[in-house]
Amino acid sequence: KVFIQNNITVLLKVIRTGESGKSTFIKQMRIIHGSGYTEEDRKGFTKLVYQNIYTAMQAMIRAMDTLKIQYTSEENEVRHLLIRINVEVDKVTVLERRQVEAIKNLWEDPGIQECYDRWREYHLSDSAKYYLTDIDCIAVVRVPTTGIIKYPFDLDNIIFRMLDVGGQRSERRKWIHGFKSVTSVIFLVALREYDQVLAECDSENRMKEIILFLNKTDLLEEKIMYSHLISNFPEYTGPKQDVKAAGDFILKLYQDQNPDKEKVIYAHFTCSTDAENIRFVFAAVKDTILQLNLREFNLV
């Protein structure tokens, strides 16, 4: 029998490629295992939700011109000007009724829907659909992470300190400053970005354990139906439109990058917007981390 002292502290470093869903994962952890969000926190998200709605719609309006897609409704030929010209996103604090109606009508236009379906041809947040169909969902609000932010939460007498660092290329030089005393590294990647250019991570670390979260399984399920892996990875020999085969192939791509074959990469398929999935996966992560630390001290 092993007796474990209360309040073991585990320091987790969460790194990822840009827009991999890491911030949403952190939000879920705060809700499930932390103190959640105060009323003040929620009010603070309101402006961000509004700004994300406008940002998404403006991106599609610009892409309509670039992709030479026509609006189906003549009224939307006029409505798009209200959103494109009359709104400065960074100054948005409220949603005016006239603009809300314009956005709703634009979103329902078949031309905009065609533009949305071609999102790979321009930059559009993968949460755009959430913003435009459910503006009350704070979990998908995109706020680019800069620097290093700490989030504490307790789970079964284990104190977790999660370090949140930026994933864009400009932020990666800061990663090294957060590695001191780190117990494990969680690396998040977006599964659906297999046909998009990913920024190469050339940072090397010497941490003992790597936990890989292959995130956005829900979006992979959508994309794999029309974007085939073989178009970007000729070596793929699995079936088309097969989510499991696609996920396993992408996982192997990451496993093959491991130079130390004796080091195990603990991989999990995740969906950051699914609270139950994150609850289940992190319970497994917690057990893995605990067992590895007990083994290090010859307690198992």
- Is 274 known as a binding-site position? no
- Is 248 known as a binding-site position? no
The count of other CB atoms within 10 Å of the CB of residue 31 is 17
- Assess contact for 246 and 269: CB atoms under 8 A: no
- Is 164 known as a binding-site position? yes
Instruction: Find residue 159's DSSP bridge partners.
Output: 9, 154
- Is 244 known as a binding-site position? no
Strands 158-165 and 210-215: unpaired
3-class DSSP state of 230: helix
- Is 256 known as a binding-site position? no
- Is 264 known as a binding-site position? no
- Is 145 known as a binding-site position? yes
- Assess contact for 273 and 138: CB atoms under 8 A: no
- Is 165 known as a binding-site position? yes
- Assess contact for 115 and 126: CB atoms under 8 A: no
Helices (H) and strands (E) in the chain, counts: 9, 6
Active site residues: 19, 24, 142, 164, 168
- Is 281 known as a binding-site position? no
Binding residues: 19-24, 126-127, 145, 164-168, 215-218
Show binding-site residues for Mg(2+).
23, 145
- Binding-site positions for GTP read 19-24, 126-127, 164-168, 215-218
